[in-house]
Structure 1
Amino acid sequence: MREIIFSKYSNERDRRFAIRTDILEEDGRRWLEKTPLYPEGKGHIENMLQWNQKLDALYQAVPFVSNKCETGEGCVKLEYLEEENLAEYLDDLLEKGREKEAEQKLTEYLENVQKIHSQKPFSMTEAFERVFGKVTLPENLTCAEIMNIDMICDNVLLTSPYTILDYEWTFDFPVPCEFVLYRIIHYYIQTHSVRRALDEEGLYGKFGITEEARESFFQMEKSFQAYITGRHVPMREMYADMTPGVQYVSQTNAGALQVFFGEKRGCYQEKNSVKRYMIAGNARCTLELPEKCRFIRLDPGDVPCSVRLDEISFDGKSASLKGVETPDGAIFGYWAFLARLDPCIADIPVPAGAKTLTVRLEICEENVDMLNHVRVLEHKNHSLLQKVGNRAKKAARRIKKSSGGGKKKGN
């Protein structure tokens, strides 16, 4: 007897892309079915059949195959596989302290992805702009005739050859190969703490993904997520209307940490700064310091927030935060509470001879009134402020746990 043993609704999307994924079992055999939730989604599901065939043709040069797909009754059927995925395999290596092996394995996968997706020069089209926006991109990017942009490590099963799952986000117009590589690196390293043992900057450099390119790809990703959502308003964005008068702490999904390098206290210029984009409120980076840099300013996004200061260090030694500037804010212990738009922690002194700066932060968006009260409490009652910090930390952990650690991709 046929039985549904698991269902997942991807319904926080535009009607064209809203689907249900079922795992079914009959006589000991399991398979997956993807079914459109609305008539408008029929074409999106049917496209998976042609993507299956075209991707297999593309993958002939590398040890990949796409998950088998066939027509069902109002759905597509896919093979059910239980092998370990690449993300799980890499996590296991990292937990055992085998960072070099993990980086080598990830690099090998990235090289194969690059091999099949760098067949010709990239050129922007109207179809590209409809999905990824009118973004300014670096020159000399590459692409292929067909592009599966969602080849993240979670979608790679370690069969022989590797099986690529979930190829619904495949496009038959040019998309930069470097964007696909960026998504693989970014969504692996930035969605789990154990993965930050890998050299993210080194991986970007190895594949020619410059800081300029990453800024452009971040904008592409935002446009892509908006394309998936369309006119649909996710319930998470209705919270304020559904619960008037309720204040809450929410972990920001994306944004930028901007690091300014100054030669003098209070003197910072845009041209002497770098940006590092973050997912699920996490910012992690190690930066080389300019020769004449004497002070650092950190701008954690654009809105009022509380910031868990996991690490600010120079050459591995913790920075001194005594006397730093936090306009409309305060630092207490490992937490900074910043109550203004364009928040910052400024005038962090750079020790003489320091070569590198390492920053690890966790950012939570906050209510401005609450933050202003916290700033006053810093002068009145340290124990009460510590309680507020602990509550913010617990709230951030609850949110992170309930959301699975951040937005992985288009759901």
Structure 2
Amino acid sequence: MKKIGNVTLDTSCYSGKDLYSDGWIEDRILELAENYPPEEYNRVIAQEQDWAVMYHLAHERENILSWYPFETGAKVLEIGSGCGAVTGAAAAGADSVTCIDLSLKRSTINGLRNQCRDSVRICVGNFQDIEKGLEHDFDYATLIGVFEYGRGYIGGEKPYHGFLRTIMNHLKPGGRLLIAIENKFGLKYWAGCREDHVGTFFEGLEGYQNTEGVRTFTRPELVEMLEECGYRNYRFYYPYPDYKFPTVIYSDEYLPRPGELDKNICNFDRDRLVLMDEGKVFDQILKDGLFPLYANSFFLEITKDPEEGKGLESEGKLEIRKEPRGEITEEFKKIADQKRIVYTKYSSGRSPKFAIRTCIARENEEFLLYKTPEYPAGALHIQSIAGAKEKLEKLWEEKKLYQVNQCWLEGEKIFFEYLKGVTLEEKLDQLLEEGKQNSVKELLRVEVRNILEAAPTGTFSMTPEFQKVFGNVTFSQEETAVEPADIDLIFSNILLTEDGKRHVLDYEWTFDFPVPAGYLAYRALHYYLDAASKRKILKEDLNLYEEFGITADKILKYEEMERNFQQYIRGNYVPVGELYHRMGKKALPLGEVLKEKDRRRMQVYVDFGEGFCEEHSRFVDHGYDSVIQCTVSIPEQARAVWIDPALAPCILKDLSLRWSGEGQREPIPVTYATTGYEMKKNCYVFDNSDPKIIIEEIPEGKRQIDISYRISILEEETAVLLMDRVNTKGRMKKKVRGLLEG
């Protein structure tokens, strides 16, 4: 038993040796945890650019739990706590957290990052040893990325059933088990992602034929397992894009809408294929009602013995009364505190003072929508939204083109009236899907005109406040401006209701200084036309920018404003999307994969005395290997041979050709010429798509050539650059030198 700050580390069941580890990188993570506080982790991750560091330390990992409404005074059991990726989220919403993990090193990292919390106790050792001494009155237990390893925790004929029963035994009546796990049938696996645990393509889809010790499950499999164990009180949620770094949490009561699932390329751990447009496929899945089957991950809430406690299905029926105006009542506050959250969206890739969480809660048929800050520093930003409502109502009062969605503050949260209707973005997409492009264009024209005409305008003048947010952007011509300015009048934020009114749902980014009105119109068009591939046809066939005086020069200025605005929001925080651009692995579209394979094909031509021709050639496929070793057979009548090592510019290194055959003691070197340039011994550069190795002398009785080389395919411009350097005897660029020496 020892202390790490306020955290208790219990090693009474520790065997003295960590039985699993990610290797040396865990030493580095331990070093980082010792030297940096959690608020510095984002900067550290950006510097390290290592997937393991990101996976274990990123704040976004907590998103899978930080939304969950733990009851006041809750007692939580976290099994498989690892380096503490979600321990802080559990501890923030509970009175005590008991962690269990097999690794002392990982538990030490967990203790260091949570050392300020005296509510955390970490038990190090084998789960089966520790479990014997655990209490049976926990309010919650969590298995975040752990249930799939149930066979290793429990063993037996039905290890996952046993794992469930063992954990549920430590919950009090009405207690809840929370599981986060990949969906075996997740669309990402069909679309070309490798199975997360074993790193091979389609392993889960094919039933883990080559894998022991780990299993993920489909929703029907999980439901069957729960029913067999006697647990019938459960609820599924769907973290997107997955449970590791979720940005949105959906539920059966609030599923995604077509067009929302467009952030699918986020593979940090391994290269992947891109076999389809996942966004378009998700749209079809949603229309067919199949999302629960193909969601990438599950978050599963299981309630114990609903008859003995107040389980989910036996919760009291409360009548919700909305208070769209004025102060929220104590009755409403009580109801809101007992809400069931059905949807959560994170805006966490921002500076702490702007990071917020949007939630929708449901009770009976009523919905509540509210925003809350992710960090204490965000309280002022939440308050500013309430102030923006009054200003925008006054601004738009005369022309009445827009209605402001009502909101009210309650503590650290801001509540919004929940409205039903269809957003302009949804309506435009529906028209586009129906092939009504002319209607789409006309509606776009109407809505951009509304944005420009909704409020009184003046002349833009630069202010210090403007420069702080949008930078020192100057315009060559006079710009009309609006003040205050809701720059987020994009079509997804404008709701059309049955009475024909346009309601502005979200006015988070409203500024009390003049902003060019054209910038608001530019943002509305940009975030519609450029946000989805299906709208590309509109961008190619439509120039609304120019119709409304947004010239190419102005677009450059507005783009600069947008970059500066996004930087203002992020501050020093590096969002996951930016980290992906820096350290994400390759995502190879199917067409490029096939093209690359074609480019690496070896083609062998044989001359029978009439010259070389395609008819007397054959291909030798090598897939994507960079090291080639093969044997080429030569027909008896052949007089000469051409070997094309690729169908693209390339570099061949360590080129070796030798005659071989039965009865030959040692291979004999082949005499050959090439169309390439010999940079050094056995290293050739070919600067065009028709590289050739030419063999004009075939010794008597030799009909077999052993070939080996290392190949690097070059883009044409790189090959030309390299040959230019060679021809001028100039200094080779670093990229080119790396190709030769790699």
Same fold by TM-score, threshold 0.5 exceeded?
yes
The answer as to 2:475 corresponding to 1:137 is: yes
Which among 98, 103, 127 is matched to residue 436 of structure 2? 98
Q: Distance in 1 between matches of 2:526 and 2:455?
A: 18
Q: Distance in 2 between matches of 1:375 and 1:81?
A: 64
Which residue number in structure 1 is paired with residue 653 of structure 2?
none
Which residue number in structure 1 is paired with residue 447 of structure 2?
109
Structure 2 counterpart of 1:77, one-letter code: F
The answer as to 2:571 corresponding to 1:230 is: yes
Q: CA 1:28 to 1:238, structure 2 compared with 1: closer, same or farther past 3 Å?
A: same
Q: CA 1:212 to 1:250, structure 2 compared with 1: closer, same or farther past 3 Å?
A: farther
Which of structures 1 and 2 has the bigger CA Rg?
A: 2
Higher RCO, Cα 8 Å, sep 6+:
1
Which residue number in structure 2 is paired with residue 205 of structure 1?
546
Q: CA 1:149 to 1:239, structure 2 compared with 1: closer, same or farther past 3 Å?
A: closer
Q: CA 1:240 to 1:197, structure 2 compared with 1: closer, same or farther past 3 Å?
A: closer
* 8 Å Cα contact 2:401-2:454 kept in structure 1: no
Q: CA 1:3 to 1:201, structure 2 compared with 1: closer, same or farther past 3 Å?
A: same
The answer as to 2:351 corresponding to 1:10 is: no
Which residue number in structure 2 is paired with residue 185 of structure 1?
525
The answer as to 2:505 corresponding to 1:168 is: no
Unaligned runs of 5+ in 2: 1-337, 596-647, 650-683, 693-710, 716-742
Q: Where in structure 2 are the equivalents of 1:340-355 lying within 5 Å?
A: none
Which among 538, 541, 560 is matched to residue 219 of structure 1? 560
* 8 Å Cα contact 1:6-1:23 kept in structure 2: yes
RMSD of Structure 2 on Structure 1 (CA) = 3.4
Q: CA 1:3 to 1:202, structure 2 compared with 1: closer, same or farther past 3 Å?
A: same
* 8 Å Cα contact 1:16-1:44 kept in structure 2: yes
Q: If the length of structure 2 is used for normalisation, what is the TM-score?
A: 0.33
Q: Distance in 2 between matches of 1:378 and 1:168?
A: 54
Q: Distance in 2 between matches of 1:91 and 1:44?
A: 32
* Structure 2 counterpart SS, 1:198: helix
Which residue number in structure 1 is paired with residue 317 of structure 2?
none
Which residue number in structure 2 is paired with residue 42 of structure 1?
379
Which residue number in structure 1 is paired with residue 413 of structure 2?
75
Cα deviation, 1:101-140, whole Å, max 9, x if unaligned, reads 1111121111111113451001111111111111232322
* Structure 2 counterpart SS, 1:91: helix
* 8 Å Cα contact 1:157-1:163 kept in structure 2: yes
CA deviation after TM superposition for structure 1 residue 388, in Å: 11
Q: CA 1:374 to 1:188, structure 2 compared with 1: closer, same or farther past 3 Å?
A: farther
Q: Distance in 2 between matches of 1:118 and 1:208?
A: 18
Which residue number in structure 1 is paired with residue 488 of structure 2?
150
* 8 Å Cα contact 1:118-1:142 kept in structure 2: no
* Structure 2 counterpart SS, 1:62: coil
* 8 Å Cα contact 1:71-1:77 kept in structure 2: yes
Unaligned runs of 5+ in 1: 252-304, 309-335, 338-372, 390-411
Structure 2 counterpart of 1:234, one-letter code: P
CA deviation after TM superposition for structure 1 residue 74, in Å: 1.3
CA deviation after TM superposition for structure 1 residue 375, in Å: 9.1
CA deviation after TM superposition for structure 1 residue 235, in Å: 3.2
Q: CA 1:3 to 1:107, structure 2 compared with 1: closer, same or farther past 3 Å?
A: same
CA deviation after TM superposition for structure 1 residue 209, in Å: 0.7
Structure 1 counterpart of 2:467, one-letter code: E
Q: Distance in 2 between matches of 1:151 and 1:113?
A: 7
Which residue number in structure 1 is paired with residue 466 of structure 2?
128
Q: CA 1:59 to 1:223, structure 2 compared with 1: closer, same or farther past 3 Å?
A: same
CA deviation after TM superposition for structure 1 residue 73, in Å: 2.8
Q: CA 1:375 to 1:151, structure 2 compared with 1: closer, same or farther past 3 Å?
A: farther
Q: Distance in 1 between matches of 2:568 and 2:585?
A: 29
* 8 Å Cα contact 2:483-2:515 kept in structure 1: no
Q: Distance in 2 between matches of 1:201 and 1:96?
A: 18
CA deviation after TM superposition for structure 1 residue 194, in Å: 3.2
Structure 2 counterpart of 1:230, one-letter code: G
Which residue number in structure 1 is paired with residue 138 of structure 2?
none
CA deviation after TM superposition for structure 1 residue 187, in Å: 1.4
Q: If the length of structure 1 is used for normalisation, what is the TM-score?
A: 0.58
Q: CA 1:374 to 1:231, structure 2 compared with 1: closer, same or farther past 3 Å?
A: farther
CA deviation after TM superposition for structure 1 residue 193, in Å: 3.0
Q: CA 1:97 to 1:127, structure 2 compared with 1: closer, same or farther past 3 Å?
A: same
Which residue number in structure 1 is paired with residue 359 of structure 2?
22
Seq. identity, %: 36
Q: CA 1:68 to 1:375, structure 2 compared with 1: closer, same or farther past 3 Å?
A: farther
Cα deviation, 1:215-237, whole Å, max 9, x if unaligned, reads 11011111111011001122344
Structure 1 counterpart of 2:424, one-letter code: L
Q: Distance in 2 between matches of 1:113 and 1:13?
A: 27
The answer as to 2:368 corresponding to 1:31 is: yes
Q: Distance in 2 between matches of 1:212 and 1:37?
A: 38
Q: Distance in 1 between matches of 2:423 and 2:573?
A: 31
Which residue number in structure 2 is paired with residue 363 of structure 1?
none
